[in-house]
Amino acid sequence: MATDVASAPSPALLKVLHGAVDLHCHSGPSPFPRKLNHVEASYDAARIGMRALLVKSHHHNTVMDLLAMRDLLTAAPTPVFGGVALNSEVGGINPSAVAVAIQMGGRAVWGPTVSAAKHIEAHSHDDGFPTAGSNLEEKPESVFDESGDVSAETVRVAELIAEADIMLTGGHLDAESQKALFETAKQKGVRRMLVHHPDFIVGIPERDLEELLSYGGFVEHEMSMYHPAVEAPGFPISQLVEWIDRIGPERTVLNSDLGQEVNPLPVDGYLYVIGRLLDHGVREKDIRQMICRNTAYLLGLEEAP
């Protein structure tokens, strides 16, 4: 079932993809150039019958975008949800920003991404990401207070997420920070937790990843990391297959992390990467577990898969 980027998808591939939920769509508006806006992303998703999208910005509460686009999105084919990333632009680990996003209908809170020290360290060169001292005024944000304990703000954020029963992610935080965040979240009753790309930027060792899984976390891998038209990181598909075998489809999710102007459309990421996984012998039911059921649970569309 080989899938060329430019070829029409086969009916068999479309059947596997139908009902997928993308938790990592980078449509616009954004300070960074985007290939499509949230309304266009909804129509793009309909090409493969996606069930829902979660649109992410590193810099602002995307629920505001969706409410401003409400008239256009009402007629759009794929439901679109938003949330807030806890970076410098919203005050970092800021319970107020989380409360606003939740009250407006947010379904996700991303831990610091572009404001995580690990991210700033990884992107200290000119690769299009903002870093400390850039014109976006990024600065490192931490889940710890000055004494080294989990901060009161982090605890309150966890409480708010638990009360709303929405998704929390570790963002681009380092392993120790993510463990502290997830342990706190688990204690406060957060059920839906996600670890982004453990082998890219954050570099989470296997023993730490096992601990994050023990708190109820899922592990995300992105189509952008395995699509040949995306320059970085350019991982081979065999690496993704190894990850799926290691963690298991029950705790793995696959999302696009696409929408950037220079990259393929999110749906083209699904068409290519899922086709390649099928070529490598990953079972259809396991793929649907990772792109449909696990993702729907994390977005709050279903109970535990």
For 145-163, the pLDDT digits (tens) are 999 999 999 999 999 999 9
Residue at 6 is within a domain: no
pLDDT score recorded for residue 7: 66
What 3-state class would DSSP assign to 28?
strand
Mean pLDDT of the region 229-251: 94
pLDDT tens digits for range 66-80: 999 999 999 999 999
Q: Does 4 map to a domain?
A: no
Classify residue 36: in a domain, yes or no.
Answer: yes
Helix, strand, coil in percent for the chain, rounding step 5: 40, 15, 45
Is it the case that residue 232 has pLDDT exceeding 80?
Answer: no
Query: pTM of the entire structure?
Result: 0.94
Give the total number of structural domains in the chain.
1
Give the structural domain span for 49. Answer: 11-298
Is 2 inside a domain boundary? Answer: no
Q: Given pLDDT bands bounded at 50, 70 and 90, which one contains residue 130?
A: very low
Please report whether residue 1 resides in a domain.
no
Burial of 224-258, coded b for 16+ CB within 10 Å and e otherwise, reads bbbbeebeeeebebeebbebbeebebebbbbbbbb
Sheet of 83-85, strands arranged across: 83-85, 108-110, 167-169, 192-196, 217-222, 252-255
Q: Is residue 97 part of a domain?
A: yes
CATH number at residue 270: 3.20.20.140
Q: What is the pLDDT of residues 79-125, one digit of tens each?
A: 999 999 999 999 999 999 999 999 999 999 999 999 988 888 876 54
Specify if 305 maps to a domain: no
